[in-house]
Amino acid sequence: MSGIGDSFTERTHKSWFARIGNSIAAVLFGLFLLVGSSVLLFWNEGRAVQTERSLAEGRGLVVTVEPARVDPANEGKLVHVNGDVTAVAPLRDPEFRVSVTGLRLIRTVEMYQWKEEKHTERHTTLGGSEDSTTTYTYHLAWNGSRIDSSHFRRPEGHDNPQMRYTRTTYTARDATLGAFRPSEPALRLLPANQMARVDPAHAEALRARISGPLQVIDGRIYLGVDPGQPHIGDHRISFSTVPNGPASFIGRQSGADFAEYQTQSGDKLLMARSGLMSAPEMFKVAEDENRMLTWLLRAVGVLAMFIGFALVLFPLSVIADFVPFIGSIVGAGALLVALVCTFVLAPALIAVAWLWYRPLISVAVLVVGLGVAYGFRTLAARRTPARAQAA
CA dihedral 242, 248, 253, 256 (to 10 degrees): 50
Q: What is the mean pLDDT of residues 217-225?
A: 94
Would you place residue 303 in the very low, low, confident or very high pLDDT band (cuts 50, 70, 90)? very high
47 three-state secondary structure: helix
Q: Where are the alpha helices (DSSP H) in the chain?
A: 16-61, 184-187, 202-207, 279-320, 324-357, 359-390
Higher pLDDT, 11 or 148: 148
Higher pLDDT, 18 or 72: 72
Lowest-pLDDT choice from 4-18, 110-124, 185-199, 246-260: 4-18
Would you place residue 389 in the very low, low, confident or very high pLDDT band (cuts 50, 70, 90)? low
pLDDT digits (tens, 9 = 90+) for 341-367: 998 889 888 888 888 887 766 566 556
Q: What is the mean pLDDT of residues 117-134?
A: 84
Higher pLDDT, 317 or 240: 240
Q: What is the mean pLDDT of residues 296-322?
A: 92
Strand partners, 273: 248
Is 50 exceeded by the pLDDT of residue 2? no
Q: Is the pTM of this model over 0.85?
A: no
Letter string b/e over residues 3-20, b meaning 16 or more CB atoms within 10 A of that residue's CB: beeeeeeeeeebebeebe
pLDDT digits (tens, 9 = 90+) for 145-160: 999 999 999 999 999 9
pLDDT at 387: 52
Q: What is the mean pLDDT of residues 57-69?
A: 97
pLDDT at 323: 79
pLDDT digits (tens, 9 = 90+) for 22-53: 888 899 999 999 999 999 999 999 999 999 99
